[in-house]
Amino acid sequence: MRQVVVARHPQGAPVETDFALVEARRPRAGAGEVLLATEWISIDPYLRPLLGGRYLVPPPGPGEPVPGSVLGRVVVSDDPRLPAGTRVVADARWAEYVAVPATRVRIVDPAIQPPSLALGALGLAGLTAWAGLRVLATPKPGDTVLVSAAAGAVGSVAGQLARLSGARAIGVVGSARKAAVAMDAFGYAACADHRAPDLAGQLAALAPEGIDVYFDNVGGPVLEAALSRLRRNARVVLCGLIDQYNAAVRPPGPNLGPVIAARATLTGLVVHDHLDRWAQMQRELLPRVADGSLRCLEHVVEGLDAAPRAFCAMLQGENVGKTVVRLPEAA
């Protein structure tokens, strides 16, 4: 079978040659494991800090497979709860077949259509947005909620959850095209463009009374601008630092003075803390997807070999919505 390994650790923005597609022996399901035929691989920004040694787990070395979430069908299993053909999600790697502990897979509800949503708005990305806006910061009707990377996998859900709470959702994006998508598809009331001048001024114009909740996916100057516009008792969910993932040296962070002035509470969010709320999240969001009140956009890339490029492109901001790679196994 084929899998993608790390060729070298990326320097700056990852390039395709940081990865290598190699032949490998198809894994066997060991004791307590199931063998999956991969259907979908999730492409996530957190891989960049992971590869840089800035994540919760050590980075894979050169020659080692690239870690990632996959959606696949059970091929080999002696677990009666996971008969062959069962569609599951698992933390695994970028490979055509993966062997994973049976206790670590999540069965994909057949009602989830397309199933790949179980890697996106109904998966880890959705759970991230949900935990941020249902557990950590809970917008009230009338609140102004700002979301950065507003058209991305997490942001697109976050903005909608905010709106569904009765809040006014405004987004930060990096292009007019994304702004249009964010407003038209995801229901953002307005968007600022962080590549245009004076982001803080743009935010002031879009939210003259300030920001009640900021869901931050990017850090850096966008966070700095958002902090400068916080309303008193604002709640900031610090969720991602896309801005610095490619930086060789960690940049100096934002000024925290406005946090004090706003009596803001900043709470770090790591979605792993909320894994036991997965079913609860799905019970809430799935009907929303079904009735169209929660909309999902995917950036679908075809074929395992396209995964590195998809990942690099995502970090360049070229995608809209959740990037997923479709493998031939996918129905």
Q: Which amino acid is at 307?
A: A
> What is the Cα–Cα distance from 104 to 82, expressed in whole angstroms?
12
Span from 9-17, 36-44, 76-84, 267-275 in contact with a copy of itself (CB under 8 A):
267-275
Does 54 bind a copy of itself (CB under 8 A)? Our answer is yes
Largest Cα span, the chain: 60
Closer Cβ to a copy of itself, 88 or 242, answer by number = 242
Does 238 bind a copy of itself (CB under 8 A)? Our answer is yes
Closer Cβ to a copy of itself, 243 or 298, answer by number = 243
Does 205 bind a copy of itself (CB under 8 A)? Our answer is no
158 and 132 in contact (C-beta within 8 Å)?
yes
CB of 90 to a copy of itself, least distance (A): 24
Look at the block and give the residue holding tokens 């940049």.
Answer: 251
Closer Cβ to a copy of itself, 99 or 213, answer by number = 213
Tokens representing residue 241 in the block? 């630092």
Does 85 bind a copy of itself (CB under 8 A)? Our answer is no
Residues 6+ apart with CB under 8 A from 154: 125, 126, 128, 129, 215, 217, 239, 240
Span from 16-24, 61-69, 89-97, 250-258 in contact with a copy of itself (CB under 8 A):
250-258
Residues 6+ apart with CB under 8 A from 291: none
Q: Which of 17, 103, 113, 267 binds a copy of itself (CB under 8 A)?
A: 267
Q: Which of 239, 294, 312, 330 binds a copy of itself (CB under 8 A)?
A: 239
Which residue, 115, 42, 15, is CA-closest to 304?
42
Tokens representing residue 232 in the block? 């008193």
Could you tell me how many residues of this chain bind a copy of itself (CB under 8 A)? 30
CB of 263 to a copy of itself, least distance (A): 5
CB of 87 to a copy of itself, least distance (A): 32
> What is the Cα–Cα distance from 154 to 213, expressed in whole angstroms?
15
CB of 146 to a copy of itself, least distance (A): 16
Closer Cβ to a copy of itself, 31 or 57, answer by number = 57
Residues 6+ apart with CB under 8 A from 71: 38, 39, 40, 41, 42, 87, 88, 89, 108, 115, 116, 118, 119
> What is the Cα–Cα distance from 184 to 179, expressed in whole angstroms?
8
Please give the residues from 271 up to 290 whose contact with a copy of itself meets the rule CB under 8 A: 273
Does 222 bind a copy of itself (CB under 8 A)? Our answer is no
Closer Cβ to a copy of itself, 188 or 214, answer by number = 214
Does 223 bind a copy of itself (CB under 8 A)? Our answer is yes
Does 250 bind a copy of itself (CB under 8 A)? Our answer is yes
Closer Cβ to a copy of itself, 27 or 240, answer by number = 240
Tell me how many degrees the CA angle 262-175-245 measures, rounded to the nearest 5. 65
> What is the Cα–Cα distance from 276 to 140, expressed in whole angstroms?
24
Does 257 bind a copy of itself (CB under 8 A)? Our answer is yes
Which residue, 168, 219, 221, is CA-closest to 191?
168
Q: Which of 29, 269, 300, 320 binds a copy of itself (CB under 8 A)?
A: 269
CB of 239 to a copy of itself, least distance (A): 7
Is the C-alpha dihedral spanning 56, 58, 62, 66 positive or negative? Answer: negative
> What is the Cα–Cα distance from 190 to 211, expressed in whole angstroms?
13
- Residues found near a copy of itself in the complex (CB under 8 A): 54, 56, 219, 223-224, 238-239, 241, 244, 250-257, 259-270, 273
